[in-house]
Structure formats: C-alpha cells, structure tokens
Amino acid sequence: MTRGHIVIEDVVKVYDPEGAAVMAVDHCSLEIEPGEICMIVGPSGCGKTTLLNAIAGFHDITSGRIVMDGEVLCSTASPKASSGPDRIVVFQNGALFPWKSNLENVIFGPVMQGKLARRAALDKGRAMMADAGLSGVEHNYPGEVSSGMRRRVEIVRALMNDPKALLLDEPYRALDSLTKSVMHEALLEIYYKNKVTIFFITHDLEEAIFLGHRVAIMTTRPCKPKKVLDVDIPHPRDYSVLTSKRFRELIEETNDAVHEEALKAFQAGEKEG
Amino acid sequence: MEVLRETTPFGEASEALLARIAAIAQPARYAAGSRIYSPDDPADDLFVVVSGRVEHVLNPELRAREALKRVTRGGVFGWTGLLLGEHRRLATVSATEPTEVLRINTESLLGLLAAEPVEGGRVLERFTSMIQREFTVPALLAKVRRLSGPLTEEMSSLSLTMYRLSLWLRSPRPYLMVIGFALFLGFWYLAVEVWKLPRFREMPGLTSVVKEWLSPAPTYGLSIYTAEYYQHILVSVWRVTKAFGLATLLGVSFGLLLGWSRAFKEYVFPLFEMLRPIPILAWVPLDIVMFIATESAVVYLAFLASFFATALNTMLGVQSIDESYVRAATCLGADRWQVFRHVIIPGALPFIFTGLQISVGVSWFSLVAAEMVSGQYGLGYVINTSYMMVRYPTIIIGMATLGIVGYITSALVRIAGDYMMEWRVRELALSER
C-alpha cells in the first residue's frame, strides 16, 4: 500500500490576531506511513487541531511544508492546501447535514463530484451503510439517531470517496465512555476493511494507545512531537486489549509525558479549541 | 440467544426474559431464492435472522418511505402479528442467500411479555421504534399492541386519525383553548353590556356585533351575507399575497446574498440598516408621489415592511450556519455553488421561516395602515370608513375578520415551513417539544 503517506516537514504556524504573535505549531515534523493509524495526543488547546486544519486545507501555514504521496499540499510558497476528497475530516461535533437523511449524507461526496450517478451512489451508499451496521437508519435524519450512530454515518460518508486519509478531530469527545468503547471497536472494524491512513487527534491517552499503531504525544503551545510511541500490540485488536499487561505498561510509560503537558497547558490557561 | 441480544427489540431485555424467549424460538432454514411468506398468509410467527439475508418488500398501500428492505443478522421481520387487528402478512419476504432464522410464535411471545409487564412493555416500545425507523411505516405505529389493558380488537377499527384525534381530545389543550376564548368574549360582553364600564360605554357590544355579522339584512351594510364583505376580504388578501410573495422572493435572495458575500454586505448593509427602522407610515407621502395608482402604492407599502423582516432574518440564518458544515462540504468535493445550494440554503431555512412568520404579520399590519390612508377597498378601508361614518359594529367585524384571515395566512406559512423542513419537525418531535 502506498496511498496516504503524509509527511509533515518543519511546519510552523504563527497566529497574529492582535499584533502579538502566538506560535501555535513550532517546527513540527512527523511522518505518517500509508495505512497507519497515527494518534496525536495533547491537552486541549495545544495546537493539534491547527495541524489538522493545515493538512485539511482549512488554514494556511507560516512555513514548512506538508506532502502527501509526493504531492505538496502546502508549503511556505503556497501556504494553504486546497481541501478535497482525498483527505476527509470527521469533525469534533459532527458535521452531518441535519437537513439530509443519513443516506443522502453518505452519497453527498460522489454525487457532488460527479463521480457516480445518483442511482449508483444510492446503491453503493446502502451497501456501505449495511457493512458498517447501519442498515435501518438510511432514511432517518441524523437528528433521529444516537450520537454514536451519527459518528459512524460520518465515517461512512468519508469512506464513500475512497480517501487517502481520514483526519479525525476528537470525534468521540462528546460520547460517554461506554459508547466510546463501542465506537472504538467499530472504527477498527471499518479500518480493517478499508485500510486507510488515519490521522486521529485526541486528548485521551487510553484511546490513543488502544487504536493507534503509533502515538505522537505533543507539547503544548507551541505544538510539536514530544515523544512518539510505537504501540507493539498486534492488530486486529478488541476491547480485551484494554486489560492486557502490555497496554497498562504503555500507559505507564507515557502517562508522565502527557500529564506534564497537561499541567503546562493548565498553567498557561490556554483557551480550549 | 446471542442473536436475540443483537436485535433492536430484544437488545436490552434481561437475561432471564431472553432465555425464556430463546426457549420458544424454533430454528428454520431457507434456501437462496425461496419465498418465506407472501402478503395475506397467516401472520403467526415472528422471525429473527441468524445468518444470510432476506428481502422484505412491504405492500405499497402501507406508504412506507422505503418499501424494500434487506434484513441481515440481528434483523427482525414478520412483526405484523404484533399489530392489533392484523392477522395477515403485509409484506413479501424471500431469502436472497441461504438463510437461517429463528421463528417465534407471536402469541406465545406476547404471553411471555405480559408476564413481565414492565420489561415486556419496554420490548414492545422498542418494536414500535424499530417499525418506524427500520421499516419506515409511521402509519402502523398506533396499532402496535399494548400490554396494559385488554388486548381487544375494537381498537383496531380506529383509524390513525381517530387515534390522534382522541389523543388530542384527551389532552387539556382543546379545553384550555376554549376557556381562553370564552373568558375573552365573556369579559367583553360583561364590560359593555352588563357592567357598562366607563371606557366601554361607546363600544359596540358582543351581541350587537354578532347580530350584525350574521344578519342577512345588516343595518350598516356589511355581514357574511353581503357580497361586498367578501370583496373586501378578497382585495386585501390579494394585496397581501402580492406584497408578501414579492417580499419573500426578493427578501430571501437579498438576505442570502448579504450573508454569503462579505463584499456585498459591506456595500449594502449599512444603508439597509438605516432604511429599516423608518416606520412604514413615514413612507406614505413619498409612496403617493411615486405611485400614482393607489393599488400599487398600497402593495408597495406592505411589501416594504415585509421585505426588511425577511431579508434580515435570512441573513442571520446564513450567518448562523456552523462553519464545519461548509468545511465538510468542501472536503467532500462540493464547489462554491454546490455549497450554496446544499448547505447555505437549507441551513438558513429555519431562520428564513421565522422571518416569514414575522413578515406575513408585518405585511398585514402595513397593508391595513396603507388601506386606511388611501385605497378604495380592503379591510383597512372598511375599518377606517366605518369609523368616519359611525358604524361601530362594522369596525369590530373588520377587525375580527383581519384577525381570522391573518391567523390563517400565518398558519399557512408555518405549514409550508414544516413541509420543507421535515428534518426539523422530526428532531423536535423526538425531543418532545
């Protein structure tokens, strides 16, 4: 597999809203292998979303560059990547269109891009929803199904476009811990079928270690990798990993680093976001 | 047992209940392509799919939003037997792959559920939501059997409308409404005709107004039997229709543009905000100078007021849209126009309709003001001339008619809104508002 190889090189992002420059991302370099689940862990407000926004093309960068599969997404010379269906974001609060049914949401990408005729898109959408355990809610509106289901629909909507990478911005933040663990397994199940590169932002260390091939622990503002952990628990994983010895060891190994950053963020009093 | 746990209706049942249900379940197999049942077959059993896949096609007259449904592991079908008064199948079901199912006799199941009224009731509730969500046939919901009370067949003769009507009648709402009206009219009657309160001395009383309104030969020439009465209504309604229609067309497009294009807003919005607070009556002299014909002068005034309300609300609607919807659409490959069409317009719709509710009211308001100043027909004209010619009951008739017609137009706008925003209606219904 050679799709979805993302290289972040020396990226700097300085916000300058009121003349007082704030460095959000500081010379950050990170390489994400094709088909890898790379977890980005850091306290709220550490600048990790800024990094995701740069990859997705929502914000420009100040310097450095981001390359995906040999194609330069953004660089010092052209600082803003263009958004497109090869890198799809799953948003923190969910961004399914509440005015479209779940199925209409799912087929949105291919129909807008003109890649599939409506009928073909509907068939593919139904099949993919069934695959993700979502048959039965196709004709419901997102507001009528549980938040866990909504997240799943959103991921299916992204996968309909056959993206190179999924960019997840704390998608399970608002869920309770029981739903969360169900969602983790569901995400892995979808991942094993689709093997797409996943760039996953979270502040939850257990979530990160449970899901990721690698976990990058970020420093708080400015944001850059403080420690990158290889999670040597073999995939496929299920929830029994959570009680395994190795899992606890990995948590212990990294907990201090995460806690230290959280403390720094707390003392700096950064606004969440 | 595990497969029962995976179904919607039994998913949250206790181990004990589940074990009892599992005990009455009979395994069965169907080859690919074989028909499991057809419409009008007796509906004795409920089916749970263990493996394989079946196609479930509901009869067209049930008006399911999606008649065809594929049912796989954990899916439940054959729930017709749980509906009151239905003993025959409502769908065609065939196996598309070699399929294993569990058959559960409906009557035995109901027996088990009735033995545990609380838990059993919950299972039936989950059946209700499954039938609504997965089989998309809201029309059948009211028929799902209830454990409390006798399982009589009589209820099945009630159509869904009757069921809804009876719910409404059992709620306090209609009675409160009647009490509200009665109190208002009663006070009017007492204040004018019985107590003869000082402020009300000159006012026409309830009885004289009603008599005049319903009289075939009205003293002052206007009642429900005179053609003139309807002509006034028609003229006013037609003027409001023109004004409101034009205001909606222009106001919505103008508001969308204001919200969507920052440059446009910077040019236009300050001017807009300066013109908006000018009261409609202040426009009258200019209006008369501009439009020689009284008809267009009246319509223009009504248009102006409702245009501002619609445009402002539409703009706020566009601005209220969460940035992530726009980002998500761009991510999914939508171009600027597609974002506008699929995100901006539907996203602004709730605000637009709030604006239209206000604007239809405002348009009546300014129409009547305009008709009182100039005009030869219309309800505002009726009120004004009746005042000058001391026909007091006719004033009240004009006012009451305005109230009724205004209420109807506003209700029409609300109905149109509900129709265009089904998603919102359903969301609100779920949060029980």
Do residue A102 and residue A211 come from a single domain? no
Per-block average pLDDT, block size 10, for chain B (433 residues)?
79 81 86 83 84 81 70 83 75 85 85 77 76 67 53 41 70 89 93 86 87 89 90 94 96 94 92 91 85 84 93 95 93 93 95 94 90 83 89 92 94 90 80 55
Nearest CA-CA distance, residue A37 and chain B, Å: 20
Provide the number of structural domains found in chain A.
2
**Top-tier CATH class for B214-430:** mainly alpha
Closest-CA residue of A relative to B337 is: A112
CB-nearest partner of B332 from A93, A108, A140: A108
Is residue A68 domain-resident? Answer: yes
C-beta neighbour count of B247 within 10 angstroms = 28
Is residue A43 domain-resident? Answer: yes
Q: What is the CATH number of the domain that holds A80?
A: 3.40.50.300
Do residue A133 and residue A213 come from a single domain? no
Is residue A167 domain-resident? Answer: yes
Domain ranges of chain B: 2-141, 159-203, 214-430
Flag whether pLDDT at A269 surpasses 80.
no
Instruction: Indicate the burial class of B404 (C-beta count within 10 angstroms; 0-12, 13-18, 19 or more).
Output: exposed
Do residue A183 and residue A150 come from a single domain? no
pLDDT for the residue numbered B353? 94
Strand (E) or helix (H) holding A261 = helix A245-268
More confident residue, A250 or A179: A250
**B429 touching chain A per CB within 8 A:** no
Do residue A110 and residue A147 come from a single domain? yes
Task: Write down the residue that tokens 């248009």 correspond to.
Answer: B303
Is residue A227 domain-resident? Answer: yes
Is residue A92 domain-resident? Answer: no
pLDDT for the residue numbered B65? 65
Whether residues B423 and A137 touch (CB distance < 8 A) is answered with no
Q: In terms of residue numbers, what domain contains A247?
A: 6-86+163-268
pLDDT in tens, A76-119: 888 888 888 889 999 888 899 999 999 999 999 999 999 999 99
* Pairwise CA distance, residues B394 & A248, whole Å: 85
Do residue A177 and residue A57 come from a single domain? yes
Whether residues B325 and A95 touch (CB distance < 8 A) is answered with yes
Last residue of a domain, one of A109, A132, A162: A162
Last residue of a domain, one of A139, A162, A185: A162
What CATH code is assigned to B2-141?
2.60.120.10
Whether residues A100 and B423 touch (CB distance < 8 A) is answered with yes
Is residue A1 domain-resident? Answer: no
CB-nearest partner of B328 from A87, A95, A141: A95
Last residue of a domain, one of A125, A141, A162: A162
Mean pLDDT of A200-205: 90
Mean pLDDT of A165-175: 88
pLDDT category of residue A47 using cuts at 50, 70 and 90 = confident
Do residue A172 and residue A260 come from a single domain? yes
Whole-prediction pTM: 0.72
pLDDT for the residue numbered A42? 83
C-beta neighbour count of A244 within 10 angstroms = 12
Do residue A70 and residue A180 come from a single domain? yes
Is residue A71 domain-resident? Answer: yes
Nearest CA-CA distance, residue B23 and chain A, Å: 27
Do residue A183 and residue A246 come from a single domain? yes
Whether residues A143 and B346 touch (CB distance < 8 A) is answered with no
Flag whether pLDDT at A247 surpasses 70.
yes
* Pairwise CA distance, residues B216 & B226, whole Å: 8
* Pairwise CA distance, residues B175 & B82, whole Å: 34
pLDDT category of residue A66 using cuts at 50, 70 and 90 = very high
Flag whether pLDDT at A271 surpasses 60.
no
* Pairwise CA distance, residues B55 & B91, whole Å: 10
Do residue A40 and residue A170 come from a single domain? yes
Is residue A273 domain-resident? Answer: no
Closest-CA residue of A relative to B420 is: A99
Contact A108, B339 (CB under 8 A): no
Do residue A229 and residue A131 come from a single domain? no
CB-nearest partner of A91 from B328, B346, B430: B328
Do residue A169 and residue A264 come from a single domain? yes
ipTM of predicted assembly, 2 dp: 0.90
Nearest CA-CA distance, residue A29 and chain B, Å: 24
- Positive or negative, the CA dihedral A54, A57, A61, A66 is positive
Whether residues A93 and B324 touch (CB distance < 8 A) is answered with yes
pLDDT for the residue numbered B137? 66
**A interface mutation test: which of B73, B133, B332, B432 has the most A CBs within 10 A?**
B332
**B interface mutation test: which of A80, A83, A126 has the most B CBs within 10 A?**
A83
Contact A209, A231 (CB under 8 A): yes
* Pairwise CA distance, residues B418 & B427, whole Å: 12
